[in-house]
Structure formats: structure tokens, C-alpha cells
Amino acid sequence: MISPSADKKFAVINPARMCQPLGAVHALLGVKGAMPLIHGSQGCSTYMRFQLCRHFREPINISSTSMSESTVVYGGEKNLIKALDIITRQYKPELIGVTSSCLTETIGDDMELIIANFLKSNNDFPVIPISTPSYTGSHVEGYNQALRALVEKLVNPVSVRHSGEKSTIGSTYTDKKLNNLRGDPKYTNKNYNGKINLITGLISPSDVFSMKILLQEMGLESIILTDTSQSLHLPLNGEINFIPSQGTTIAQIKDTIHSRATICISRHADSAGIFLEKNFGVKLINIPLPVGLSATDHLVETLSVVGNKKIPENINLQRGQLLDAMVDAHAYNYKRRVAIYGEPDMVTGLTRFLSELGMHPVVVCTGTQSNIFQDEIESLAREHGHDIQIISGGDLYDLEQKIVEEDVELLLGNSYSARIASEKNIPLIRVGFPVFDRIGAQRINITGYQAGLNLLDTITNTIIERYYEPGRDDKI
Ligand code: SF4
């Protein structure tokens, strides 16, 4: 049986989602020279810094307009203008991304207008307003809002045109449709820069890096929206940077309008791709997060067709090795009852991969209310003949109840699920955001064939360690 999403609630017990501007800040931290500014009270920026620092274990700077009692009564215009002025003079960022907060959305501050007033005397400086009232969504929506705002505000609106082309949203992007692209003159037109825009969604710096390497191995140039692979995984070299010294540049974001296509591997972060397709004819190809065999196949085939490149032998080799490991591990993993918790794209990707391994995802949970998530999990459940309890927009209390009901043997989720795992004596594999009770969160890698291989080993060895006692040959 597949359950409907959690009932509308009037109390949340241990929320399973982060706040909306935090997702926007995450996206901004992948832009070189960008300073995030929270238009709200100081506590909001403290909370976000705290979450991001303890997950990425990097120094992260987030500024605040420091709203107080009187500014709430009289409006935050003065604070916002002053904050923008101080930040531009003292820190000289290349861009400021201003996110709203619950407070400033509720009092109705018109950030667009305030920023427009500021820009009258600071003409060429990019200040990007991003509306992120946390009561309307999670960090997943905040990330999506930030990408859209970055692209929309930085590209030249004068050259906007409408292609009339429909987006290929959905995971139904078949080989036949891909083959039709081969003859499309758009992909050989000299006006295009030949690059692929890649929207990654909320994945780890290590996963962003894997995707960049995959594109390089395919012989493709890319623009990553946004590139946290180094800005949130810094080398120790004696330099102290107040704002990201690495990441996607403003010039690259502007150049996205000339790319041959946008490939979005997040079903919840495609609004920038939709904007580019509608206004600049840059085709949007929306495919699942490449976790495991079939989803990585989907990405590799898409890159091959859109980039008109042959799949290199090394990538085929990695695929074959993953397939071999799946066969090797099958006896240990078959029918194991698993719960998966975290961001919706990640949970869907892991559900697909674990189903490919012969495991049975019995409970999936995300704190983000999402019909896309619900539909995708239902489709996977039908495909694999599984009953899956789906919690969309739920909390940790919901997750715990279902874990007990469904007799779960393994849990994949972030550090907030560690208490449940410990109390119910279930092994936990830490993935997603935040992971603060272990080190290496920025290196948790789940996308692509090689990461699938490593994840498979971790899952299988966890199962062996927990459920097959050493020396008990009869149980193995
Ligand atoms: S008040 Fe709103 S914006 Fe600020 S930290 Fe809380 S949820 Fe986030």
C-alpha cells in the first residue's frame, strides 16, 4: 500500500526541513565573489551560519540587516540600504544576494523597490533580491528561487526572445527524443557557445565535482549552476577569504543564455532552466539525479546525445564495475527493508538505486511538501512492485512512527535521524544535509557510477556487519 502524504498538521515535532533562505544562501555560496545578505533579524543569519559551518566545516560568512523592534514597526528600508552600502564599501563583493526572511516578508518590505533605489547611485553593481519566506517552503525551494533570481537578473533582458519550445520536463525523456536532437541545427549553430548548463540541485561539493569530471571526461564544456565543488570544500593554503574565491562567475551565469542546452538533475531546482528555455531558447532537459545505475545511464546517454560525443571507454568500464558489484552484493541486500530520509531529489535517487539493488525501500520521508516527489516514488513503487510509505512534508515524529511500523532494517538519512537509529537499534548511513556528527559531509558522494560503487560497498558492509555475525557461515 502507498500512503498519501502526511495529513495537514497544526504541530510539527522535530521538523525534517531547513529554512528557505538557507537554501538560497547555499546556492549563493557557489558563486565567486557573492555575499549573502539576509534581510531579517540577526538570529536568522546566525542559524544559517551555524548549520552550514558545522556541515561543511568551512568558514562561512553571511551578513544580516539586523532588524530590531523599531525597524519592524517602521520598515526595514533604512537597514537594507545601509547594509548594502557597508558591504559594498568594506568587502567589495562582486555580487550581493539579498534573501528575505519570515520577518521582512510578514511586514511586507518591498525588497525589489528598496534595492532599485539603492542601485540608482550604484548603477552597475549586481544586487539580486530573492524572495524566501520560510513559511511557504523549505531550503529546497529557497535554492530554486536563488538560481532563478541569479540567472534572471544577470542575463541581459534586452535580448529576451520566446522560442515557443516546450520543456522536456520529466524523466520520460526517451532515447527516441534524444536521437531527434542530433539533427537539430541549434546544437551546431555558431551563435551558441557549445557549453552545457548543468543545474545540480542541493548536492554535496564532492557530487558537484563528480559531475564536472563526468562532463570533462565526455569532452564537454559546462557552466555549473552553482559550483560549490571548491567554495564549500576549500584547501588549507593560508588564505582567508571573506567571500567565495571560487565558484561560478558572473560572466559564466550571463553566458548561460548562449549554451546549447541546460541539463537539470534536480526535479526541484529547474526554474532557472525553464526561464532560459522560455526566454532564450536554451533547451531544458530535466532528468533524475544520477544515483545508481539507470539514472547515471540516463545522464551519460543524455550528455552523449546533446553533446554529440561518444561515451568514453573509461565511463563504460565504471558502469560495468558497478553492475558487477551489484550482482556480488545481491545476496546480502535482497529484500532488506530500508527507510530513506532527506531532500526529495536525493531520497528519490536513493530509492531508485536501492530498488535496483533488490532492496525494499519501505519508508521514504522528506520534510519538503512535494507532489513531484510523491509521483516519482509512486512510479518507482509500481515499477518494482513495492509497497512504500511516503511521507512528503512530514517531520521526524512521522518518520519514527513509520520506521517502527514497517520493521526497518537500515536507515539512510542526515544527522537528525541519528537519534531514531540509535533508539531503534537500526544502522544509519549518513547522507544529505545536515551531517554534523561525523566529519567529511562535503565528501559524501552519491552521484555517478564510481560513487554508486562506493555507496553500494558501504551499504552492503553495513548490512553484513549488522546482520551477519562473523564466523556464522550458516547465516551468510
Ligand atoms: S525566522 Fe524564518 S527565515 Fe529566520 S531562521 Fe527562522 S525560519 Fe529561517
**pLDDT single digits (tens) 150-159:** 999 998 654 4
Give the model's pLDDT for residue 11: 84
Determine the distance separating the centroid of ligand 1 and the alpha carbon of 101, expressed in angstroms: 6
For residue 460, is the peptide bond before it cis, meaning its omega torsion is within 30 degrees of 0? no
Give the model's pLDDT for residue 343: 96
Determine the distance separating the centroid of ligand 1 and the alpha carbon of 316, expressed in angstroms: 46
Determine the distance separating the centroid of ligand 1 and the alpha carbon of 425, expressed in angstroms: 33
Average pLDDT, the chain: 90
Q: Specify the ligand 1 atom closest to the Cα of 102.
A: 2
DSSP per residue, 403-453 = HHHTT-SEEEE-GGGHHHHHHTT--EEE-SS---SSS-GGG---SSHHHHH
- Alpha carbon nearest to ligand 1 atom 4, residue: 44
Which amino acid is present at 165?
A: E
- Alpha carbon nearest to ligand 1 atom 6, residue: 44
How far apart CA 251 and CA 268 sit, in angstroms, is: 25
DSSP per residue, 311-378 = PPHHHHHHHHHHHHHHHHHHHHHTT-EEEEESSHHHHHHHHHHHHHTT-EEEEEEESS--HHHHHHHH
| Domains of the chain by start residue, with CATH | 20-153 (3.40.50.1980), 157-310 (3.40.50.1980), 314-475 (3.40.50.1980)
Pocket test for ligand 1, best of 50, 102, 139 (most atoms within 8 A of CB): 102
Pocket test for ligand 1, best of 47, 107, 139, 145 (most atoms within 8 A of CB): 47
Alpha carbon 213 to chain centroid, angstroms: 18
How far apart CA 459 and CA 354 sit, in angstroms, is: 9
Ligand 1: residues with CB < 6 A are 19, 21, 40, 44, 47, 101-102, 134
Give the model's pLDDT for residue 168: 42
Determine the distance separating the centroid of ligand 1 and the alpha carbon of 268, expressed in angstroms: 21
How far apart CA 252 and CA 241 sit, in angstroms, is: 21
Determine the distance separating the centroid of ligand 1 and the alpha carbon of 439, expressed in angstroms: 26
Determine the distance separating the centroid of ligand 1 and the alpha carbon of 17, expressed in angstroms: 12
Longest dimension (CA), the chain: 78
Determine the distance separating the centroid of ligand 1 and the alpha carbon of 44, expressed in angstroms: 5
Determine the distance separating the centroid of ligand 1 and the alpha carbon of 6, expressed in angstroms: 23
Determine the distance separating the centroid of ligand 1 and the alpha carbon of 64, expressed in angstroms: 12
Pairing of strands 261-264, 283-286: parallel
- Alpha carbon nearest to ligand 1 atom 8, residue: 19
- Alpha carbon nearest to ligand 1 atom 1, residue: 102
Q: Specify the ligand 1 atom closest to the Cα of 103.
A: 1
- Alpha carbon nearest to ligand 1 atom 5, residue: 44
Give the model's pLDDT for residue 222: 96
Pocket test for ligand 1, best of 134, 138, 368 (most atoms within 8 A of CB): 134
Measured from the Cβ of residue 239, the count of other Cβ atoms closer than 10 Å reads: 8
Which amino acid is present at 77?
A: E
Averaged pLDDT, groups of 10, the chain, 476 residues long = 53 89 98 97 95 94 93 90 94 95 94 91 85 93 97 72 40 42 48 89 97 97 97 89 93 94 97 95 96 98 95 98 98 97 98 98 96 97 96 94 97 97 97 96 97 98 89 51
Give the model's pLDDT for residue 191: 55
How far apart CA 461 and CA 329 sit, in angstroms, is: 9
**pLDDT single digits (tens) 62-92:** 999 999 988 888 889 999 999 999 999 999 9
How far apart CA 218 and CA 469 sit, in angstroms, is: 43
**pLDDT single digits (tens) 291-347:** 999 999 999 999 999 999 999 999 999 999 999 999 999 999 999 999 999 999 999
Q: How many percent of the chain have pLDDT more than 90?
A: 80
Residue among 51, 226, 64, 220 nearest 144 (CA): 226
Determine the distance separating the centroid of ligand 1 and the alpha carbon of 102, expressed in angstroms: 6
Q: Specify the ligand 1 atom closest to the Cα of 22.
A: 8
